[in-house]
């Protein structure tokens, strides 16, 4: 069962027998992880050093690799001369792939692959391991370090699967935090008032403004946040150190409290978090996962998407002056971290903060940022001012939108908003209680297909509003959901209905991504090992489970334009002319030299001369990074065979087939 994002209905779809497996493989970060050259090199160096250390001690090198994935780390150990290697992998398709990769590299006689979770491994003559290992290598980390259960994995291994005086790779990890002030980032978590006109303001309910969200990590490519958009209020602080060797017990629940000096004045709103791995026992090899400004060589810092950095929103904002002492409190349980700055009068916070206002449950950080976007809001207000009058009957069809409140504040007679989702209904209801003093706004909880004239008090709607934003619409072309709803609502609309926005466009541009292409590029070879069998598996999984266009927040992923932008599809929302199927084809001339590795798609919406975009927010300049909207995701079509392109010599062909159930895009590069 799936939701069709165009018609908004649940549908049965026949999928491959192993669709769920393929989807998990396709959405994993295996390929990106294997493209991480620094990670591969430092694991390799630590493994070689560990095996040589055992040799120097006159001990056999018995290696256990937990979470082997493709078997890369096990192959490193086998080729470095390990006496035995057991590779543990609990995900069956990946374990089978590891066996194929190991065989392809001629190491099948040296590595034993076990399809189990590490905590289920047995030791003994008939066990998964004949005897306990003395070298453990594991890569079981995520952006939050411990979110994949790393603490329990290492603790169990040291206690039950390893000999005394063993070597663990990595041997330790340090978690760093830095307190930040940033109006930009705060707008991804806290809803602010929206100013419509003098004396007319949409005020967030008190339960919204007093709620600072959940403790869940907001993972981002932190190096791409503009340096002038945040102020560092402290230097980086090491808040947790985990030893994985067994010399020191691993605490599953821990609290860190330390007074740290502020280096600037401001509001303590946010914590930036990253971590560093000590790869060897001696502390000669480190893997730093921090943003560029804390890297030893920022200009050549490794790009990676499988590990990013984390933003945490503090449950209480504290104002400080430079030189003040800040009492930073950090917590972790077995799987997650959270932070607070507690005043002396407060009791120690031990439980992870939770959202009580529904906003952080219903809306993503990007959606909250969208609602706080002053430029975007002002454009919608400008559109509405052109059509709203004291006799206007308005209908809004967007999930959790503030457009109904804009229309009401501008003097509409009645405003209806369709909110069939329970959480969005309750959130909008709380807004109504604080902002609809004249009882103008009414929530309709029905699905659009079930509406009747009685739902609109027997009046015709003369202003139809949308952003358009729908929770289930993640790809740019799914703006056609509004196009479909526009046709469905025709019986309730006045003949002279004004539709905001009036037109929609699906736009594309050919680009050269600096790094993002790696997540879909074949690995081929890593540290001298042939990984083509893995490439075959991942490409098959992507072809079965993934749409041809993937959503990504491109402000985090630099790219330059290789063509002018071109309109692929245009929609006239003023007319009820929804089309169930069509085909479009054309050409995109290449206008700049580079490597064409993707095509980016986004949408723009117009009412007369006012335009709202989910794509570039500044004019596109050749050979300069495109400045993307930070509160929207764009669609990315990765070119299957990236090619070097030259203006006047190459063009990009495109073809779009659309039906109500499926949309396919094809882009191909050819010489003129």
Catalytic residues, which ones? Answer: 139, 148
Of 447, 368, 364, nearest to 402 (Cα)?
Answer: 368
Q: Give the chain's length.
A: 672
Cβ neighbors of 485 (< 8 A, separation 6 or more) are: 8, 397, 448, 466
Q: Which two tokens stand for residue 637?
A: 């079509």
Of 140, 158, 159, nearest to 149 (Cα)?
Answer: 140
**Distance of CA 552 to CAs 127, 235, 474, 512, 604, Å?**
45, 31, 10, 15, 17
SS3 sequence of 47-116: HHHHHHHHHHCCCCCEEEEECCCCCHHHHHHHHCCCCEEEEECCCHHHHHHHHHHHHHCCCCCCEEEECC
Contacts 24+ apart (CB under 8 A), 298-302: 301/223, 302/36, 302/37, 302/38, 302/39
| b/e code 29-61 from CB counts within 10 Å (16+ = b) | bbbbbbbbeebbebbbbbbbbbbebbeeeeeeb
User: Distance of alpha carbon 521 from its chain centroid, rounded?
Assistant: 19
Provide DSSP, 313-347.
Answer: EEEEEEEE-TT-EEEEEEEE-SS-EEEEE--TTSP
The DSSP letter of residue 159 is I
391, exposed or middle or buried, with CB in 10 Å at 0-12, 13-18, 19+? exposed
Q: Which two tokens stand for residue 613?
A: 């975009």
Q: Are strands 393-396 and 414-418 parallel, antiparallel or unpaired?
A: parallel
**Distance of CA 43 to CAs 75, 114, 526, 565, Å?**
12, 21, 12, 43
Would you call 616 helix, strand, or coil by DSSP?
strand
Can you name the residues that pair with 201 across neighbouring β-strands? 195
């Amino acid at each position: 069962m799936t939701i069709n994002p165009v018609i908004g209905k649940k549908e049965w779809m026949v999928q491959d027998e192993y669709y769920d497996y393929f989807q998990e493989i396709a959405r994993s970060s295996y390929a990106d992880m294997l493209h991480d050259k620094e990670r591969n090199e430092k694991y390799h160096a630590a493994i070689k050093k560990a095996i040589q250390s055992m040799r120097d001690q006159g001990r056999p090198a018995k290696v256990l690799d937990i979470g082997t994935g493709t078997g890369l780390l096990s192959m490193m150990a086998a080729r470095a001369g390990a006496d035995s290697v057991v590779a543990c992998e609990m995900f069956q398709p990946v374990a089978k792939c590891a066996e194929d990769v190991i065989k392809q590299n001629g190491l099948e006689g040296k590595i034993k692959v076990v399809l189990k979770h590490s905590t289920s491994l047995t030791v003994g003559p008939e066990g998964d391991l004949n005897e306990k290992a003395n070298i453990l290598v594991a890569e079981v980390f995520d952006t939050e370090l411990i979110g994949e259960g790393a603490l329990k994995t290492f603790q169990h291994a040291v206690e039950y699967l390893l000999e005394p005086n063993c070597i663990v790779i990595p041997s330790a990890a340090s978690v760093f935090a830095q307190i930040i002030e940033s109006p930009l980032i705060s707008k991804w978590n806290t809803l602010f008032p929206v100013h419509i006109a003098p004396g007319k303001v949409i005020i967030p309910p008190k339960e919204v403004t007093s709620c600072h969200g959940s403790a869940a990590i907001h993972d981002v490519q932190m190096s791409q946040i503009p340096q002038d958009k945040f102020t560092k209020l402290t230097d980086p602080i090491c808040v947790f150190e985990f030893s994985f060797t067994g010399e020191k017990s691993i605490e599953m629940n821990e609290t860190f409290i330390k007074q740290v000096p502020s280096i600037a004045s401001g509001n303590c709103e946010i914590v930036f978090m990253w971590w560093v791995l000590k790869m060897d026992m001696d502390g000669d090899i480190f893997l730093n996962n921090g943003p560029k400004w804390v890297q030893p060589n920022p200009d050549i810092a490794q790009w990676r998407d499988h590990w990013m950095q984390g933003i945490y929103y503090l449950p209480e904002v504290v104002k400080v002056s430079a030189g003040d002492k800040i009492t930073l409190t950090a917590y972790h349980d077995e799987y997650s971290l959270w932070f607070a700055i507690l005043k002396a009068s407060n009791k120690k916070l031990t439980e992870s903060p939770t959202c009580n206002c529904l906003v952080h449950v219903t809306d993503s950080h990007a959606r909250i940022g969208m609602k706080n976007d002053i430029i975007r809001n002002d454009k919608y207000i400008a559109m509405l001012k052109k059509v709203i009058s004291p006799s206007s009957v308005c209908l809004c069809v967007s999930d959790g939108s503030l457009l109904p409140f804009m229309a009401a504040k501008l003097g509409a007679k009645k405003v209806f908003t369709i909110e069939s989702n329970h959480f969005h209904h309750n959130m909008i209801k709380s807004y109504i209680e604080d902002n609809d003093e004249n009882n103008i706004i009414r929530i309709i909880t029905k699905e659009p297909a079930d509406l009747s004239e009685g739902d609109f008090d027997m009046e015709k709607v003369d202003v139809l509003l949308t952003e358009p934003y729908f929770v289930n619409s993640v790809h740019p072309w799914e703006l056609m959901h509004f196009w479909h709803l526009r046709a469905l609502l025709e019986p309730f609309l006045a003949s002279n209905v004004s539709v905001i926005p009036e037109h929609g466009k699906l736009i594309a541009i050919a680009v050269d991504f600096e790094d993002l292409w790696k997540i879909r590029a074949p690995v081929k070879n890593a540290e001298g090992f042939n990984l083509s069998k893995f490439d075959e598996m991942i490409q098959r999984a992507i072809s079965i489970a993934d749409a041809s266009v993937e959503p990504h927040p491109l402000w985090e992923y630099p790219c330059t334009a290789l063509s002018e932008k071109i309109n692929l599809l245009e929609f006239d929302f003023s007319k009820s002319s929804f089309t169930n199927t069509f085909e479009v084809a054309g050409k995109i001339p290449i206008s700049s030299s580079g490597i064409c590795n993707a095509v980016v798609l986004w949408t723009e919406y117009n009412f007369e001369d006012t335009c709202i975009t989910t794509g570039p927010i500044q004019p596109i300049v050749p050979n300069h990074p495109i400045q993307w909207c930070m509160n929207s995701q764009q669609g990315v079509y990765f070119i299957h065979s990236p090619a070097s392109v030259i203006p006047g010599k190459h063009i990009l062909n495109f073809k779009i087939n659309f039906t109500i159930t499926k949309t396919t895009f094809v882009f191909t590069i050819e010489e003129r």
